[in-house]
């Protein structure tokens, strides 16, 4: 299933081809809406696509089956051979190996394929029936399309993929609490930073999306999303916050910064929130923090605060390098896209040259043709004569006159 | 408020000791107040009790409109008015009383997280139940909410508030939930709280904190409020350590209080408190 992880941003028209892609094609699709060069589908769900905030853990799904397996294979034997698997049994590994070999046709053990498409559906065109235009969307063999993050997780749990299996009861309770903390304090402010803050929205987010959404949707989809987020924030925060920029900045951003600090304190110097192996809380926290950390925001106060919390930065980068190695752990917005454009430019170059030559030729031919046709210039033998004779005639006349 | 003004206010707050005539305003207890507001109010009362700060409870029909943020309860101390538990806790801290000073950083983080959990799940579930569940709305909420006002104002105000709450539910994604799902969420929340509490007397062992006050406020109100069905209180009753916790706090902080503490009124109300 991991092989299909990069499919977010598949344009709606290409939904059908999405299922076939393996990791190779993932790389080509720079088109993740969050485009932080990740192609990370989970970031699509990171609240920025308007997925419901009340659903607790997002997009951790794709990471989960991979993680315990990778860790455990390297470190220790699976702890509960007989229990519901948080680690798929060794025998099953072959089926679920990351589909670099393009085995994603079967899309994982249960034929689930994770889609990022549905941008067109967001406008109401029901290309993904039942998807309701929300991302991330998981297309399963049996149950159609599931598009609410919470439902995706439930579905995966039914299929016996569970990252929280090893957590104690207190830790599960803590997970719930921290999830609520994130949703209440951090998520609205993140939405504000990316979508409502004027400078960020105009200079960064809107461009980000417009560059990857196909014509002609790129003209009005980002704006529609902007309006939706604005409305949502207005409902959550009430009007007096929205009108008073300063108050909003001070109080709400302060609370968000406090939330980040709290997360940092809770993480301490551990590798993951609950010890050495990741749980769904890690996935959620990562999905919230990583865009904030890596995006190049012009107005980045919250970002600076996050960068000052060293353990959270290391945490994000380590997860990135562990679970998203195809980005090389360096998902700066500019870099992969620059590489992409260079490559495509190089490809197009010969064509470009040829096209230029061709256009010059055509232009020349057209001009000459017009010239001949309208008689400005003509190539008949005789025509040189009259043109040449006239000066001679004049000269003769002059000579005659002189004489 | 600019930074300077806030510093000034904090200074002012810190300068004066807690007066004797501090007042807490909420809606009319018998006829008007709803489940969620009652819970919030009780939480603040419990918190102030735990800090040993005397406060009178005053019931006014228009408490909601008097409040600076539109939410009840709010306290009127000296010449300042502060509403909602969060700001009240900070205000009280500025006056030098704090329950959570003894906690280390990690514990403070956990405390804040759990408070958000309660706000996010329990409070929202209460709001959902009283404003989005049609039966409850018809039979309990509408009659109670507009009761101090004559017709047609009572209907208008109720519908207005209902519309507002429903919009907010939609914004946070709860509009699509069914009652069963909401009750599921409440159950999950109680489970988490129960796990965290374990066998300790309070959430952070020896001494109560604002988290204890908040949890007490909500759980006690749920347990002692009679709604259309008992499903909500049943969910809480499943966890014996939570019910014991509520009883313990009630005995410790509300027993000796003979005025109009809502806890006492609620205790003597195996009579229907909210119908």
Q: pLDDT digit of tens for each residue in chain A (403 aa)?
A: 344 433 333 343 443 333 333 333 333 334 333 434 343 433 333 334 433 434 434 444 444 443 344 333 444 433 444 344 343 334 333 333 333 333 333 444 444 455 544 333 333 333 444 445 567 778 877 777 777 777 788 788 788 777 777 788 888 888 888 888 888 888 888 888 888 888 888 888 888 888 888 877 778 888 888 888 888 888 877 766 667 777 777 888 888 888 888 888 888 888 888 888 888 888 888 888 888 888 888 877 888 888 888 888 888 888 888 888 776 544 444 444 444 444 445 555 667 888 899 999 999 999 999 998 888 876 666 544 444 455 555 555 555 555 5
Strands A137-140 and B80-83, by their bridges, are unpaired
A80 lies in some domain: no
- Judgement on whether residues B114 and B183 belong to the same structural domain of the protein: yes
Cβ distance of B117 and A266 shorter than 8 Å: no
| Yes or no, beta carbons of A180 and B2 under 8 Å apart | no
Same domain, yes or no: A212 and A320? yes
Read off the tokens for A100.
């670099």
B36 and B154 housed in the same domain = no
Is A158 found in the same domain as A223? no
Note whether A150 and A262 are same-domain residues.
no
Looking at the partner chain, which of B113, B171, B173 has a beta carbon nearest the beta carbon of A181? B113
Residue B45 belongs to a domain: yes
Structure-block tokens of residue B27: 């809606």
Q: Which domain holds residue B46?
A: 3-99
Question: Are A204 and A291 part of one and the same domain?
Answer: yes
Give yes or no: residues B170 and B52 share one domain.
Answer: no
At B98 the pLDDT is 86
Chain B interface test: which of A49, A51, A54, A256 (most B C-beta within 10 Å): A54
Give the pLDDT score at B103: 85
Number of domains in chain B: 2
Asked if residue B63 belongs to a domain, the reply is: yes
CB spacing of A176 vs B109 below 8 angstroms: no
- Identify from B108, B116, B167 which residue to disrupt to test chain A contact, counting A C-beta atoms within 10 A and taking the largest count: B116
CATH number reported for the structural domain that contains residue A179 in this entry: 1.20.1050.10
CA dist B183 and B205 (Å) reads: 29
The answer as to whether A314 is a domain residue is yes
Between the alpha carbon of residue B229 and those of residues B108, B235, B266, the distances in Å are 37, 12, 18
d(CA A73, CA A90): 9
Residue B42 C-alpha, separation from nearest chain A C-alpha, in angstroms: 22
| Arithmetic mean of pLDDT over chain B | 84
B28/B134 same-domain check: no
pLDDT of A154 reads: 78
A254 touches chain B (CB under 8 A): no
Tell whether B111 and B177 lie within a shared domain.
yes
Residue B271 forms part of a structural domain: no
pLDDT of residue B218: 93
Contact between B196 and A174 using a beta-carbon 8 Å cutoff: yes
Number of structural domains (chain A) is 2
A288 and A145 together in one domain: no
Residue A156 belongs to a domain: yes
Nearest CB neighbour to B112, from listed A53, A181, A183: A181
Could you tell me if residue B23 is inside a domain?
A: yes
Candidate from B3, B106, B121 with C-beta closest to A180: B121
**Domain-ending residue, one of B99, B125, B157:** B99
User: A72 to chain B, minimum CA–CA distance in Å?
Assistant: 28
Structure tokens at A17: 């081809």
Neighbours of A192 (CB within 10 A): 24
> Cα torsion for A281, A282, A284, A289, to the nearest 10°?
140
If asked whether residues B119 and B234 sit together in one domain, one would say: yes
Examine the domain organization and report whether A148 and A292 are in the same domain: no
Cβ contacts below 8 Å, chain A against chain B, sum to 79
Asked if the structure places residue A190 within a domain, the reply is yes
Residue A380 located in a structural domain: no
Q: How many CA atoms lie within 13 A of B180 on its CB side?
A: 0
Picking from B5, B106, B117 by the largest number of A CB atoms within 10 A of its own CB, the best residue to mutate is B117
Is residue A60 in some structural domain? no
**Cβ-defined contact of A236 to B1 (cutoff 8 Å):** no
Q: How far apart are CA A287 and CA A215, in angstroms?
A: 28
Question: Which of A162, A179, A203 is the last residue in one of the domains?
Answer: A162
Question: A236 to chain B, minimum CA–CA distance in Å?
Answer: 6
Residue B270 in domain: no
What is the spatial distance between Cα A338 and Cα A30, in angstroms, rounded to a whole number? 11
CA-based torsion, A325, A331, A337, A343: positive or negative: negative
Question: Do B46 and B155 fall within a single domain?
Answer: no
Which of B39, B65, B99 corresponds to the end of one domain? B99
Q: Considering only the beta carbons, identify the residue of A177, A263, A265 that sits closest to B117.
A: A177
Q: How many CB atoms lie within 10 A of CB B225?
A: 22
The CATH number that applies at residue B155 is: 1.20.1050.10
Please check whether residue A132 touches B, CB under 8 A: no
Q: Is there a contact between A181 and B116 if contact means CB atoms under 8 Å apart? A: yes
Does residue B264 form part of some domain? no
Same-domain pairing of B93 and B115:
no
Residues B223 and B156 grouped into a single domain:
yes
Beta strands of A244-313 (E only): which ranges?
none
pTM: 0.67
| B111 token code pair | 């405390």
CB of A243 less than 8 A from some CB of B: no
Domain that holds residue A246: 167-324
Instruction: Establish if A113 belongs to a structural domain.
Output: no
Q: Are residues A171 and A240 in the same domain?
A: yes
Note if the bond before B158 is cis, omega within 30 degrees: no
Specify whether A319 is located in the same domain as A187.
yes
| Contact flag B189-A265 (C-beta cutoff 8 Å) | no
A145 & A280 share domain: no
Q: What is the pLDDT along chain B (275 residues), one digit of tens a residue?
A: 556 656 666 666 666 788 888 899 998 888 888 899 999 999 999 999 999 888 899 999 888 888 888 888 899 988 889 988 988 998 998 888 888 888 888 888 889 899 999 988 899 999 999 999 888 888 888 888 888 889 889 899 999 999 999 988 888 888 888 889 899 889 989 999 998 888 888 888 788 899 999 999 999 999 998 888 888 888 889 899 999 999 999 998 887 654 444 444 444 333 333 43
Does B169 fall in a domain? Answer: yes
Strands (DSSP E) contained in A30-99 are none
Residue B272 lies in a domain: no
Q: What is the CATH number of the domain that holds B45?
A: 3.40.30.10
Interchain proximity A173–B192, CB inside 8 Å: yes
Question: Nearest Cβ partner of B168 from A170, A235, A268?
Answer: A235
Residues B242, B110 share a domain? yes
**Strand, helix or coil at A364?**
helix
The answer to whether residues B115 and B88 belong to one domain is no
Q: Give the distance, in angstroms, between the CA of residue B242 and the centroid of all CA atoms in the same chain.
A: 16
Domain end marker among B99, B132, B152: B99
Residues A270 and A318 in one domain: yes
| A1 part of a folded domain | no
Task: State whether residue A269 sits within 8 Å of chain B by CB.
Answer: no
Are residues A186 and A310 both part of a single domain? Answer: yes
CB contact under 8 A, A54 and B188: no
- Same structural domain, A173 and A319: yes
Same domain (yes/no): B169, B48: no
CB-nearest partner of A176 from B106, B112, B188 = B188
């Amino acid at each position: 299933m991991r092989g299909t992880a990069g499919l977010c941003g598949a344009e709606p028209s290409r939904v059908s081809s999405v299922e076939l892609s393996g990791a190779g094609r993932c790389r080509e699709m720079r088109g993740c809406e969050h485009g932080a060069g990740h192609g990370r589908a989970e970031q699509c769900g990171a609240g920025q696509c308007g997925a419901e905030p009340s659903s607790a853990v997002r997009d951790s799904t794709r990471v989960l089956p991979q993680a315990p397996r990778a860790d455990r294979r390297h470190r220790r034997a699976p702890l509960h051979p007989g229990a519901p698997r948080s680690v798929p049994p060794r025998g099953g590994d072959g089926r679920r190996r990351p589909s670099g070999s393009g085995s994603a046709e079967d899309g994982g053990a249960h034929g689930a394929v994770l889609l990022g498409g549905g941008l067109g559906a967001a406008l109401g065109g029901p290309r993904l029936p039942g998807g309701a235009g929300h991302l991330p969307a998981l297309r399963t063999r049996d149950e159609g399309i599931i598009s609410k993050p919470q439902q995706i997780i439930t579905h995966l749990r039914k299929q016996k993929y569970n990252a929280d299996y090893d957590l104690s009861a207190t830790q599960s309770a803590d997970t719930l609490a921290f999830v609520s903390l994130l949703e209440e304090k951090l998520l609205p402010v993140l939405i504000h930073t990316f979508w409502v803050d004027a400078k960020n929205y105009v200079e960064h987010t809107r461009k980000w999306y417009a560059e990857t959404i196909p014509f002609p949707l790129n003209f009005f989809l980002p704006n529609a999303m902007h309006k939706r987020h604005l409305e949502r924030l207005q409902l959550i925060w009430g009007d007096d916050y929205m009108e008073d920029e300063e108050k909003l900045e001070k109080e709400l951003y302060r609370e968000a910064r406090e939330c980040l600090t709290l997360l940092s304190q809770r993480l301490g110097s551990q590798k993951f929130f609950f010890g050495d192996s990741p749980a769904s809380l890690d996935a959620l926290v990562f999905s919230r923090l990583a865009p904030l950390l890596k995006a190049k925001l012009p107005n980045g106060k919250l970002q600076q605060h996050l960068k000052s919390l060293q353990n959270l930065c290391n945490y994000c980068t380590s997860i990135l390098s562990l679970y998203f190695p195809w980005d090389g752990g360096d998902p700066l917005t500019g870099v992969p896209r620059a590489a992409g454009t260079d490559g495509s430019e190089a490809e197009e170059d010969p064509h470009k040259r040829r096209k230029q030559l061709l256009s010059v030729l055509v232009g020349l031919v057209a001009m000459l043709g017009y010239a001949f046709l309208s008689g400005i210039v003509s190539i008949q033998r005789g025509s040189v004569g009259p043109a040449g004779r006239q000066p001679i005639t004049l000269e003769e006349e002059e000579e005659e006159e002189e004489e | 408020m600019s930074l300077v003004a806030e510093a000034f206010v904090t200074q002012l707050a810190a300068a004066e000791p807690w007066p004797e005539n501090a007042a807490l305003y909420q809606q009319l207890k018998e006829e008007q107040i709803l489940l969620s507001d009652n819970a919030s109010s009780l939480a603040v009362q419990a918190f102030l009790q735990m800090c040993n700060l005397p406060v009178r409870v005053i019931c006014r029909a228009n408490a909601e409109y008097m409040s600076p943020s539109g939410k009840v309860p709010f306290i009127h101390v000296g010449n300042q008015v502060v509403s909602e538990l969060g700001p009240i806790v900070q205000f009280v801290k500025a006056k030098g009383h704090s329950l959570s000073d003894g906690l280390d950083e990690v514990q403070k983080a956990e405390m804040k997280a759990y408070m958000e959990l309660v706000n996010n799940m329990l409070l929202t579930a209460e709001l959902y139940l009283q404003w989005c569940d049609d039966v409850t709305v018809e039979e309990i909420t509408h009659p109670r909410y507009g009761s101090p006002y004559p017709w047609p104002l009572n209907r208008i105000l109720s519908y207005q508030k209902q519309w507002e709450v429903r919009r907010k539910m939609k914004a946070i994604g709860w509009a699509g939930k069914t009652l069963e799902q909401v009750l599921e969420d409440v159950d999950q929340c109680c489970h988490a709280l129960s796990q965290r509490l374990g066998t300790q007397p309070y959430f952070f062992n020896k001494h109560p904190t604002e988290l204890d006050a908040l949890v007490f406020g909500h759980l006690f109100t749920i347990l002692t409020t009679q709604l259309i069905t008992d499903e909500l209180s049943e969910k809480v009753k499943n966890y014996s350590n939570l019910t014991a916790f509520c009883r313990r706090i009630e005995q410790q902080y509300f027993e000796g209080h003979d005025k109009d503490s809502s806890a006492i009124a609620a205790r003597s109300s195996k009579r229907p408190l909210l119908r």
